[in-house]
């Protein structure tokens, strides 16, 4: 089976960042951070189809990509990832492959998005990132529906762009570094969820 | 608060933008490195064991007094601090990206902050300093002492006690509050199990998620799935199983009662968990397994036969069962070490008096 180049690169890069934090990682975590990176790609005013693959939202409010899932299976099958009980670990071979891919100019901008997404775990636990992201407009809508639905279709992006515009206008001195909008947005999403809770 | 308003508040009040505003991109790099180091520190050292202050800083603009002797100290291994009783801690993140112990003498944290990003924690106060500015860390999780120690809650036992107090007692969790049929919290919706499980799963993931896998509805035998399984990532021979039951009256959307769960239901759950634990011991003999039994107690006295709109209850009836202990026979928690004493969590009603 041919590896999807974008999904494969994303799996490898997110895996390295998560592994640096906790030695092992899970498939759902790769889907989660790849999706957050894709949202940051939109924040950077790129178009969603240029991300290279799509996501659906599950009824639990989690993102899922068929391409990421296939890439994970291929990486396992080719020995680049190892299964450790119900978790995954990168091998040295995967590290070398990632170094090769990272040097490619075509991956520079998506690497910035992926690195910024993964940097958020310096500020929050993985669980908090999951909870916060489930409040973003697309996943939040997916949760309300009984079946999985395609995320980030053009017509559904308006809510996201309102929030991104608010981020841009409130973050003075923009530097182009995506870590700042990522952690500010996740904090705001998490807070809005908590304040909903407190209103009861 | 809507998300756009929330974004404004976070931009104004949180420490993230401050680092960039004061020191530019280098400040942003430094604050992320400081946060990573603080997280790593709290993974190894329980904040409860630190009686004094914690200071972690990274210099952004090198100070001008270049006459200072070059640093020859070795980086600190936080794991070596795990079992010590600690007064205060101070670390500088050096150019190698690793923490080095520092003694500040008479230098204040405000003086250090002139050229550095400084994290300071004292008791329940956490703050960042940069230049002549300071911001308290926005506390997103109010039940923990540090925003950066969220994942290192001691044990499932401790987390469950917090869940009872913070989420169940007043139905404050936005998932949990959906279990109620009525605003006064007298009747449960029919089949509230999945909502209770989702609420507890989210709570545990927020607190234990970095070091534990929290997995809802796991099959442990051919009959019934267990509600939640918790497994520490770094100790693969440990397994924690959580069984959940509820007591009270549940009703359908038209208000007719669909189930009345009382003490016998609580006993059923205890027997079920004991059987799960026996099954697990046979199938995974090398695992150290502990069972936790959570009972959501929504019993009310003198409830009407059906739920009617606007139904109310007097305090004496609403809280009648609050202190009533359930007598288990058999009582597995008294006879076996792998079964914690059941966690009965009373979910209070809104009363008319």
Residues B184 and B204 reside in one and the same domain? yes
Smallest Cα–Cα separation from B185: which of B304, B312, B308?
B312
Contacts of B62 (CB under 8 A, 6+ apart): B115
Q: Tell me the residue ranges of DSSP E strands in chain A.
A: 56-57, 63-64, 81-84, 87-90, 149-150
Residue contact B140–A190, C-beta within 8 A: yes
Per-residue confidence (pLDDT) for residue B67, from 0 to 100: 45
Most confident stretch, A84-88, B14-18, B232-236:
B14-18
| Residue B353 domain flag | no
- B150 part of contact set with chain A, CB < 8 Å: yes
Residues B41 and B90 reside in one and the same domain? yes
Distance from CA of A176 to the nearest CA of B (A): 10
Last residue of a domain, one of B148, B176, B206: B148
Residues B142 and B255 reside in one and the same domain? no
> Is B325 buried (19+), middle (13-18) or exposed (0-12) by CB count in 10 A?
exposed
Task: Output the pTM of the full model.
Answer: 0.68
Facing residue for B233 by CB, picked from A24, A180, A188: A24
- Local structure of residue B147 (DSSP, 8 states): G
Last residue of a domain, one of B148, B175, B200: B148
- Measure Cα distances from B133 to A172, A175, B130, B139 in Å: 16, 20, 5, 19
Q: Domain residues for A51? A: 5-198
Dihedral sign (CA A146, A41, B26, B111): negative
CA distance B60 to B78: 23
Contacts of B13 (CB under 8 A, 6+ apart): B135, B138
Q: Is the pLDDT of residue A86 over 80?
A: no
Residues B183 and B212 reside in one and the same domain? yes
Smallest Cα–Cα separation from B17: which of A181, A13, A41?
A181
| Residue B246 domain flag | yes
Q: Domain residues for B298? A: 153-346
Distance from CA of A180 to the nearest CA of B (A): 7
Facing residue for B1 by CB, picked from A85, A177, A195: A195
Q: Return the structure tokens found at B352.
A: 């008319």
| Residue B351 domain flag | no
Distance from CA of B97 to the nearest CA of A (A): 14
Residues B142 and B160 reside in one and the same domain? no
Q: Is the pLDDT of residue B21 over 80?
A: yes
- B178 part of contact set with chain A, CB < 8 Å: no
CA distance A149 to B29: 37
Angle at B296 between CA B290 and CA B301, to 5 degrees: 145
Q: Is the pLDDT of residue A196 over 70?
A: no
Facing residue for B140 by CB, picked from A128, A166, A175: A128
Q: pLDDT band at B62, cuts 50/70/90?
A: confident
Last residue of a domain, one of B148, B164, B186: B148
Residues A36 and A133 sit within 8 Å (Cβ to Cβ): yes
Q: Return the structure tokens found at B30.
A: 């430094």
CA distance B41 to B53: 13
| Residue B194 domain flag | yes
Q: pLDDT band at B153, cuts 50/70/90?
A: very low
Nearest CA in chain B to A184: B10
- Local structure of residue A147 (DSSP, 8 states): S
Residue contact B3–A192, C-beta within 8 A: yes
Radius of gyration, CA atoms only, chain B: 25
Contacts of B198 (CB under 8 A, 6+ apart): B175, B216
Smallest Cα–Cα separation from B263: which of B251, B275, B274, B247?
B247
Number of domains in chain B: 2
Residues B123 and B157 reside in one and the same domain? no
Residues B166 and B206 reside in one and the same domain? yes
- 3-state percent helix, strand, coil for chain B, nearest multiple of 5: 35, 25, 40
Chain B residues touching residue A196 (CB < 8 angstroms): 174
Residue contact B10–A188, C-beta within 8 A: yes
Out of A88-102, A172-186, B50-64, B133-147, least confident range: B133-147
pLDDT (tens digit per residue) in B327-345: 999 999 999 878 889 999 9
CA distance B163 to A199: 18
- B45 part of contact set with chain A, CB < 8 Å: no
Residue contact A180–B28, C-beta within 8 A: yes
Residue contact B17–A184, C-beta within 8 A: yes
Mean pLDDT for chain A?
87
Q: Do strands B288-298 and B238-251 pair parallel, antiparallel, or not at all (unpaired)?
A: parallel
Q: Do strands B238-251 and B212-219 pair parallel, antiparallel, or not at all (unpaired)?
A: unpaired
Residue contact A86–B213, C-beta within 8 A: yes
Residues B107 and B202 reside in one and the same domain? no
* ipTM score of complex: 0.91
Residues B328 and B272 sit within 8 Å (Cβ to Cβ): no
Q: Do strands B343-346 and B288-298 pair parallel, antiparallel, or not at all (unpaired)?
A: parallel
Distance from CA of B327 to the nearest CA of A (A): 33
Residues B21 and B108 reside in one and the same domain? yes
Smallest Cα–Cα separation from B19: which of B107, B147, B119, B148?
B119
Q: pLDDT band at B282, cuts 50/70/90?
A: confident
Residues B144 and B174 reside in one and the same domain? no
Q: Do strands B188-189 and B238-251 pair parallel, antiparallel, or not at all (unpaired)?
A: parallel
Which is more confident, A62 or B18? Answer: B18
Task: Report the pLDDT averaged over residues A67-83.
Answer: 94
| Residue B191 domain flag | yes
Number of domains in chain A: 1
């Amino acid at each position: 089976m041919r590896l999807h180049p974008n999904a494969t690169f994303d799996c490898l890069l997110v895996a390295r960042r998560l592994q640096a934090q906790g030695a092992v990682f899970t498939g759902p975590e790769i889907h989660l951070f790849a999706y957050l990176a894709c949202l940051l790609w939109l924040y950077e005013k790129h178009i969603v189809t240029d991300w290279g693959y799509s996501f659906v939202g599950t009824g639990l409010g989690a993102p899922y990509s068929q391409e990421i899932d296939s890439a994970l299976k291929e990486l396992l099958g080719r020995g680049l990832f190892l299964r450790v009980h119900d978790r995954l670990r990168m091998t040295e071979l995967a590290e070398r492959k990632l170094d090769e891919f990272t040097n490619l100019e075509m991956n520079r901008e998506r690497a910035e998005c992926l690195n910024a997404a993964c940097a958020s775990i310096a500020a929050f636990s993985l669980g908090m990132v999951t909870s916060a992201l489930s409040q973003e407009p697309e996943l939040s809508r997916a949760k309300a529906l009984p079946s999985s639905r395609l995320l980030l279709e053009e017509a559904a992006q308006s809510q996201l762009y309102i929030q991104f515009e608010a981020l841009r206008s409130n973050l003075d001195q923009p530097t182009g570094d995506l870590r700042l909008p990522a952690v500010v947005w996740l904090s705001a999403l998490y807070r809005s969820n908590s304040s909903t809770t407190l209103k009861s | 608060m809507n998300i756009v308003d929330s974004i404004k508040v976070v931009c104004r009040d949180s420490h993230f933008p401050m680092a960039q505003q004061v020191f530019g991109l280098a400040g942003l790099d430094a604050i992320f490195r400081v946060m990573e180091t603080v997280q790593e520190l709290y993974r190894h050292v329980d904040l409860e064991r630190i009686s004094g202050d914690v200071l972690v800083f990274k210099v952004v603009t090198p100070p001008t007094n270049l006459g200072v002797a070059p640093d020859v100290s070795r980086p600190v291994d936080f794991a070596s601090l795990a079992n010590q009783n600690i007064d205060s801690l101070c670390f500088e993140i050096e150019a190698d990206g690793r923490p080095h112990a520092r003694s500040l003498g008479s230098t204040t944290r405000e003086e250090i902050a002139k050229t550095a990003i400084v994290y300071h924690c004292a008791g329940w106060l956490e703050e960042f300093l940069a230049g002549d500015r300071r911001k308290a860390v926005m506390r997103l999780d109010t039940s923990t002492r540090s925003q950066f120690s969220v994942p290192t809650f001691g044990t499932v036992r401790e987390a469950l006690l917090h869940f009872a107090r913070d989420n169940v007692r007043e139905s404050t969790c936005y998932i949990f509050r959906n279990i109620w049929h009525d605003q006064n919290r007298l009747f449960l919706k029919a089949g509230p199990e999945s909502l209770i499980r989702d609420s507890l799963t989210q709570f545990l993931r927020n607190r234990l998620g970095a070091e534990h896998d929290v997995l809802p509805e796991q099959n442990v035998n051919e009959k019934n799935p267990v509600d939640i399984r918790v497994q520490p990532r770094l100790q693969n021979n440990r397994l924690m199983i959580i069984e959940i039951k509820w007591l009270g009256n549940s009703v359908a959307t038209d208000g007719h009662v669909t189930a009345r769960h009382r003490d016998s239901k609580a006993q059923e759950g205890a027997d079920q968990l004991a059987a799960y634990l026996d099954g697990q011991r046979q199938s995974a003999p090398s695992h150290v397994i502990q069972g936790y039994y959570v009972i959501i107690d929504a019993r009310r006295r003198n409830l009407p036969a059906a739920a009617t709109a606007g139904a109310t209850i007097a305090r004496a009836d609403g809280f009648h069962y609050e202190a009533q202990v359930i007598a288990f026979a058999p009582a597995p928690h008294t006879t076996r070490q792998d079964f914690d004493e059941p966690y009965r969590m009373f979910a209070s009603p809104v009363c008319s008096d």
